[in-house]
Amino acid sequence: MQLQTNTSQTIAKRDPELVMRLSRLGSFHQSRLSFMRILTRRMTRENWTFSRPIFEFDAKGVGHAVYCAHTPDRTYSLIAFGHDLPPDERSDRVIATRWDSTFTLFDGVPDAADIERLRQNIPLQEAGRVSEKELSVSRANRSVRLWDHVVSRLAAGAQPDQAEVAKVGYLMRTTAVYGSGKLGAADREMIADRPECAAPFQIEMLSVFLTRTYVRDLVQHMAYRKGEAAAVKLDADIARSMGIGNSTGLGMAPFLVNHPKLFNNWISAREEAIAIVRSVNSATKAEVATFRELLDRSILSADIWHSEHEVQVEKLKRLRSDLSALAAHVANADLCGPRPWDKLYAWAESRLGEDAQECLASLMLEPYGGLVDHLADQMSDKDRHAFRIDGTMPVAELRAVLERAYGWALDIDWSAKDQCARAWYVSQEKLEPRLGERFDEPIAPYEQPLAPGRDAAALYAALKDEDGDRSLAAFLLAYPEHRHSVRRAQIVDRAPYAEIRDNTIGSDLMPIDMLRCKLSFFGATHFDPRSDRWVRICMFGNAPYPEELQGSRGDDWSYPPLVKGAKCTTH
């Protein structure tokens, strides 16, 4: 192993106090440990094969298809239903009731009875029911502008305009991908022991990967039906440049708070990878060359990343200028000297903003798949007993834990209006998580426990007058309202990256920071906030299609190719 000869791991993981602030989490970039890349690496390594046993659609795109992914041990099938959706019903809000296409990922190969059963349920999404044979439920809407453009161009015998394609980046975007037991589907626990499900969200990523293929095939089908003999096949490079869009609202933000141990494992794996690479004693020419190429491609990626959101526009400006500064520095820096990556990171830490620092941190991992890719298997949460509270812990010990992990929160005046201006709640409609103004809306009675800092400070205050030797079991008997905070504190004590160390209910909260953090772990690029709490992204842009996996070079598809034209930008 290279690990033994080329590193002497003395560099520690970065301090949670530094990493777990919202502004930094909201500056994360995809990396080798992103869930999409973990999936495409596995599919390539294990020679997964793919088939399309059913593809039956009319000229309007109404019908259904089945796409099968065959792993060495089993088959997963995406069942896609195409619908004819009137424009006035096309909404990417989670509260919509009809979509252009609806999907489920089926465990195995569906028979006719399965498909019939699912035809009655999948198009209804939340209003339908599925069974333990189904692993996910999702839906997608067309990007109407690009869809019509591509169909009419192909039908007329021409390729789509590449600038138009680049402007949008995808033909369809998903608005929700439900997994793990939702709507009656199989719980994650049912499949967690399968090797291909060891990393998080692999089922959801596979569903999106197959959805992208379906979308390409459907647009082609509709072009052929429209243009008949005049129609042409979509150019493979243009097709590859297109990903699947995704609109993500607030639903993802509470996820990070509600799964502290899982969140810790994501962050901890990436931090471990960064520490390993910073500890590399010397870099080979080939490793340096890989880094330099992907830095160039990152610069291109930032150049073609568009957003009209004012915060993102400013962040992008800084990212672009920082990446130029980084490139200039790298051009002259000696990356063949001792501890090159640690030196480079230290330079970036003192000169660049958080966005570029995180971009660099992800980039540094690229030449070192052999050292870091195995960390993917540590990113799930297998510890089902982390939930248990150790009631024998004395009050004094918990106080010390709180001071260590929540020091940032103990100094905040949580009664000040701007520190607690917001409240998270769940609406009656489709159980959608929302964020409201505590002092303007009647939502406080419905508040969800999504302000761990405030609650930890309240716990700390309650502990103040307690006997330090008293057991937590006795304390909690008298103060059940602090039970969730005690649980979190004990988890954070063992898992230091479990908690966002920032105010999640302040007036200046930007929920998109939480969304970007989660989506960067998915592997998303080109975050395009549409408001402070809603973001569009592109998934699998430039990725190989199923039939291209074996011929694909490495797994660096997340970075746009330097060749002009084959780009994916979201807009």
Chain residues 175-214 in contact with other proteins, contact rule CB under 8 A: 175, 180-182, 184-190
User: Pattern 373-412, binding to other proteins, x per CB under 8 A?
Assistant: ------------x-xxxxxx--------------------
Residue 141 is a binding residue for other proteins (CB under 8 A)? yes
Residue with Cβ nearer other proteins (133 or 318): 133
- 431 φψ region: left (φ > 0), alpha (ψ -120 to 50), beta (else): left
The 3-state DSSP class for residue 280 equals: strand
Residue 97 is a binding residue for other proteins (CB under 8 A)? no
Residue 63 is a binding residue for other proteins (CB under 8 A)? no
Residue 275 is a binding residue for other proteins (CB under 8 A)? no
Residue 144 is a binding residue for other proteins (CB under 8 A)? yes
Distance from C-alpha of 180 to C-alpha of 506, rounded to nearest angstrom: 31
Residue with Cβ nearer other proteins (12 or 478): 478
Burial 290-319 (b: 16+ CB within 10 A, else e): bbbebbebbbbbbebbbbebeebeebbeeb
Pick from 10, 503, 556: nearest CA to 276? 10
Residue 143 is a binding residue for other proteins (CB under 8 A)? yes
Residue with Cβ nearer other proteins (162 or 471): 471
Residue 432 is a binding residue for other proteins (CB under 8 A)? yes
* Pairing, β 63-70 against β 49-57: antiparallel
Q: How far is the CB of 431 from other proteins (least distance, A)?
A: 7
Interface residue with other proteins, options 200, 533, 557, 559 (CB under 8 A): 533
Rg, C-alpha atoms of the chain? 24
Burial 267-289 (b: 16+ CB within 10 A, else e): bbbbbbbbbbbbbbeebeeebbe
Q: Count Cβ atoms within 10 A of the Cβ of residue 69 and give its class: 0-12 exposed, 13-18 middle, 19 or more buried.
A: buried
Residue 370 is a binding residue for other proteins (CB under 8 A)? no
Pick from 77, 76, 58: nearest CA to 66? 77
Q: How far is the CB of 122 from other proteins (least distance, A)?
A: 16
Q: Which of residues 476-515 bind other proteins (CB under 8 A)?
A: 476-478, 480-487, 511
Interface residue with other proteins, options 1, 87, 331, 564 (CB under 8 A): 87
Contact predicate 547/50, CB 8 Å = yes
Q: How far is the CB of 530 from other proteins (least distance, A)?
A: 7
Residue 428 is a binding residue for other proteins (CB under 8 A)? yes
Residue 436 is a binding residue for other proteins (CB under 8 A)? yes
Residue 426 is a binding residue for other proteins (CB under 8 A)? yes
Distance from C-alpha of 60 to C-alpha of 85, rounded to nearest angstrom: 10
Residue with Cβ nearer other proteins (313 or 474): 474
Q: How far is CA 101 from CA 85, 125, 212, in A?
A: 9, 11, 12
User: Pattern 227-266, binding to other proteins, x per CB under 8 A?
Assistant: --------------------x-xx----------------
Q: How far is CA 244 from CA 140, 175, 377, 379, 569, in A?
A: 9, 11, 26, 24, 11
Q: Which of residues 13-52 bind other proteins (CB under 8 A)?
A: none
- The type of residue at 89 is E
